[in-house]
Amino acid sequence: MSKQALPVVDPDRVACCAPIAARPMDAEQAAAVAPMFKALGDPVRLRLMSMIASVPEMCVCDLTPAFDLSGPTISHHLKVLREAGLVDSERRGTWVWYQARPDALRQLGALLDLPGPSAPVSP
Amino acid sequence: MSKQALPVVDPDRVACCAPIAARPMDAEQAAAVAPMFKALGDPVRLRLMSMIASVPEMCVCDLTPAFDLSGPTISHHLKVLREAGLVDSERRGTWVWYQARPDALRQLGALLDLPGPSAPVSP
DNA sequence: ACCTTGTTTTGAAAGCTGTCAACCTAGAGG
DNA sequence: CCTCTAGGTTGACAGCTTTCAAAACAAGGT
């Protein structure tokens, strides 16, 4: 399912990743990264993301019945996750399968790292 | 606007933190955590958060002029970060100082951790 | 070709968000 | 007391989000 006309966030292209707490983030990087956080800022999408990231891939047909929401609504949320660059989708026969983009998750995680004394693992 | 208490997120109380990708997140935890991601889902707030987290504390008087936005707008965004449990504020004399809540950032970071970048242990 | 099932798109209603101007409050210093 | 400054609150408006029903699209089976 390749799409090219949408304002999609491409995680490979987001300026990478000094932690938020390391130095003030510039406007450009903030604008690039914020949509990813925004996509995770809805409880339904957060659960969808979690369900998808917990397994190698996940069928929409297993995602939809886990919520008390209509099919179109789930589809809409999946689209938001896709356009944020957090998941990929692929149609195989009748069903559409979603998978997480680990790089995107890793990048967001890196942004939240603290330069803290929490893990002084320097040998 | 009715004066009901706002749904302020208390990071000490958010159910802690198996990574999103470890297992499907339940609805309750998703509802508790999503507001934090949502707060970071705006470029202005992401920069504010970064500016605050980059130093021990930050005066609003130094935050506001960094943006092309009115004082009330910055104040609004700071309130969102506060109610998401991401920052604390304290008035000292004339000025108000903001500081990051490291636990909150750490918690969000932990949620985004991936199970092993190096060793996909075969089951 | 038709029908059935799965997923996405469209259209529309209700509600929420980002922003500013105007106003209000808290302290500091007369 | 009064005034000045730093921040926050209120009210209003445009734009965006969430949601569903209805329609459209895709693939497989009859």
Q: Which CATH number does the domain B27-111 belong to among 3.40.50.850, 1.10.10.10, 1.20.1250.20, 3.20.20.60?
A: 1.10.10.10
What is the C-alpha to C-alpha distance for residues A17 and A14, in angstroms, rounded to an integer? 8
- Does the reported pTM lie above 0.75? yes
Q: Does A42 have pLDDT greater than 50?
A: yes
Average pLDDT over residues A91-115: 96
Nearest CA of chain B to the CA of A93: how many Å? Answer: 26
Q: Supply the pLDDT for residue A54.
A: 98
User: What does each C-alpha distance from B107 to A5, A22, A115, B19, B54 come to in angstroms?
Assistant: 35, 17, 14, 9, 17
Q: How far apart are the first and last CA of chain A?
A: 47
Please write the tens of the pLDDT for every residue from B27-78: 999 999 999 999 999 999 999 999 999 999 999 999 999 999 999 999 999 9
DSSP state of B66: G
Q: Binning pLDDT at 50, 70 and 90, where does residue B13 land?
A: low
What is the C-alpha to C-alpha distance for residues A92 and B32, in angstroms, rounded to an integer? 35
Every domain of chain A and the residues it spans: 27-111
**CA nearest to B113 within chain A:** A109
Higher pLDDT: B119 or A27? It is: A27
The mean pLDDT of chain B is 88
- Find and list the nucleotides of strand C having atoms within 7 Å of a protein beta carbon: 5-11, 17-22, 26-28
Name the E strands within B5-114.
58-59, 87-92, 95-100
Which residues sit opposite B58 in a β-bridge? Answer: B98
Q: Supply the pLDDT for residue A13.
A: 57
- Residue B92 phi/psi, 5-degree rounding, is -130, 100
Average pLDDT over residues B84-113: 97
What is the C-alpha to C-alpha distance for residues B43 and A35, in angstroms, rounded to an integer? 8
**CA nearest to B49 within chain A:** A20
Which residues sit opposite A115 in a β-bridge? Answer: none
Per-window interface: B 5-64 vs A, CB < 8 A: 20-27, 30-31, 33-35, 37-47, 49-51, 53-54
Q: Supply the pLDDT for residue A119.
A: 47
Q: Supply the pLDDT for residue B86.
A: 98
Interchain contact A115–B (C-beta under 8 A)? no
The mean pLDDT of chain A is 88
Name the residue among B86, B118, B99 with its Cα closest to residue A102. B118
Mutate to test the interface with B, among A14, A26, A36, A46 (most CBs of B within 10 A): A46
Cross-chain residue pair A112–B106, CB shorter than 8 Å: yes
Residue B22, both tokens: 């470890």
